[in-house]
Structures are given as C-alpha cells and as structure tokens.
C-alpha cells in the first residue's frame, strides 16, 4: 500500500491500554496512524486522555506536549505525546509509547510489539517441498512436510517439524523475541560436532497467535546463516 505520510484512518476495534493496574485508555474511536511506512501506531482523541492525575511533568516541544504517565509507583517517562490543533494532520490527537505500557488489547486479544497493520497478511501453508538444511556439510534438518509462512513484504520462512531436525545438535537459548503477528519466539543454538557453536540461528513458537497456530512447535532456521536445498536445488 502506498500513501502520503502521515496517513490516518479510523480503527473499528475497541482499544484498551493497561498500566500500573489501571486501564488508562478504553476507546472505540482510536486512529491508526502511519508516521513511517513499516507499520502504524495507535493515536487517540483528546476526549480519551488518561485522567489528569496520571499525567505528570509536562514538557512542550513546538506543536506538541510530552507527559510522563504515573500510576501509583509505576512511572513511564515521556510516554504520552499530545499534539496541539496547529499540528496539522495530527492536531488534537495523542499517542502513547507502546512498549512503555504493561499491556495493550484489541477487543479481548492482547497485542504485542506494536499494533497490527490491517494491510499486512500472514499465511501459513502446508507444503510437500523437500527441504534440507546443512552447515559445513552436516545435515541439521530434512523434511518433506514443511510449513511455509508467507508474510507481506518479508522473505518466505520455512518451518520444519522437530522430528525432522537433529535435536541432538540443538541447545536451548535464553533469547526470546516477540512478533505482533506470530507471538513470542524461543531460540536454539546449534552445537556442531566440530565444537563450533552457532548462536540463536533456530527459532520456534510454543504458543503462536491463533492465526499462525499451524507453526506451533515447528522450527525455523535463519536461511541466511545455513545452506538450504529445496527439491534438490541449493538456494542462494
């Protein structure tokens, strides 16, 4: 999708924001705002501002004001930005830093990292392609039952059943990452027979989001860091 930034459209979802045990935002009038082309952020009308006792340390910067959000003992510095009417497209709106809050909900579903882009699609398709993964001539995975993840604007990722991987070469990592479309990923290191260690080049989802439930328990290798054959053809 191509548009002039900032691009603004109404959201039809009920949005709630939780911080310090309080629901500081609860609205059905949120705006999706693309300030950059990658994904939108939620903006809100002034009528949905958190209670004044939660807003501290006002600072002015041109056509906007920045506030700390304080609820009890919890303090989120410079977490709310409010735009004056003179701020053109963003006038009379405010936004809250996503990762400064405890939780965000679209309807009754918690969202993570940032709000979802309604123009981005993620499809998980069962495939019968023959996939082999190697590093330095050592086979790490071999399957004819991969699941392929097609995500708008991103490289196609291959997810492989764990039973088709060399689990004896995988070591659990403490690393986790979050994706708003797939959920929280956990990682493995690869310990090669030579003693070489490849950090965090395999990931998987224990509890993926409902729309990506089909990849639950499957592993994905960083194609950029391993050698991959698809139907006998080495990938570049």
**Ranges of each domain in the chain:** 7-111, 122-234
pTM: 0.84
Q: Is a pLDDT exceeding 90 seen at residue 3?
A: no
Stated length of the chain? 236
Picking from 48, 66, 46, the residue whose alpha carbon sits closest to that of residue 56 is: 66
Q: Is a pLDDT exceeding 80 seen at residue 110?
A: yes
Picking from 122, 121, 119, 146, the residue whose alpha carbon sits closest to that of residue 132 is: 146
* Region of residue 113 (phi > 0: left; psi between -120 and 50: alpha; otherwise: beta): left
3-class state of residue 197 by DSSP: strand
Alpha-carbon dihedral angle through residues 180, 183, 184, 188, given to the nearest 10 degrees: -110
Mean pLDDT of 62-80: 96
Beta bridge partners of 187: 203
Are the folds of 7-111 and 122-234 the same? yes
Q: Is residue 87 very low, low, confident or very high in pLDDT (cuts 50, 70, 90)?
A: confident
Mean pLDDT of 105-128: 94
- Give CATH for domain 122-234: 2.170.150.40
179: DSSP letter: E
User: CATH says 7-111 is which class?
Assistant: mainly beta
Q: Is residue 4 very low, low, confident or very high in pLDDT (cuts 50, 70, 90)?
A: confident
What HEC string does 61-72 produce? Answer: ECCEEEEEEEEC
Whole-number pLDDT of residue 10: 97
Q: Quickly list DSSP for 116-142.
A: PPTT--EEEEE----EEEEETTEEEEE
Tens digits of residue pLDDT in 170-208 = 999 999 999 999 999 999 999 999 999 999 999 999 999
């Amino acid at each position: 999708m191509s548009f002039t930034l900032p691009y603004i459209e109404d959201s039809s979802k009920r949005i709630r924001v939780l911080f310090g045990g309080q629901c500081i935002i609860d609205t059905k009038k949120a705006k999706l705002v693309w300030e950059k082309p990658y994904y939108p952020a939620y903006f809100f009308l002034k009528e949905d501002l958190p209670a004044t006792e939660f807003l501290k340390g006002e600072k002015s910067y041109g056509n906007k004001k920045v506030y700390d959000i304080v609820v009890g003992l919890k303090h989120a510095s410079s977490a709310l930005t409010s735009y004056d009417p003179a701020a053109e497209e963003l006038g009379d709106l405010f936004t809250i830093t996503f990762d400064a809050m405890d939780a965000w909900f679209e309807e009754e579903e918690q969202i993570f990292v940032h709000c979802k882009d309604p123009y981005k699609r993620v499809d998980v398709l069962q495939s019968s392609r023959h996939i082999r993964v190697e590093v330095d001539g050592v086979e790490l995975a071999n399957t004819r039952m991969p699941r392929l993840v097609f995500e708008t604007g991103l490289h196609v990722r291959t997810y492989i059943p764990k039973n088709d991987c060399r689990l004896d070469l995988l070591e659990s990592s403490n690393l986790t990452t979050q994706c708003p479309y797939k959920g929280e990923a956990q990682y493995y290191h690869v310990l090669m027979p030579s003693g070489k260690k490849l950090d965090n080049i395999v990931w998987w989802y224990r509890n993926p989001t409902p729309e990506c439930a089909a990849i639950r328990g499957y592993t994905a290798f960083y194609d950029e860091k391993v050698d991959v054959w698809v139907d006998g053809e080495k990938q570049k």
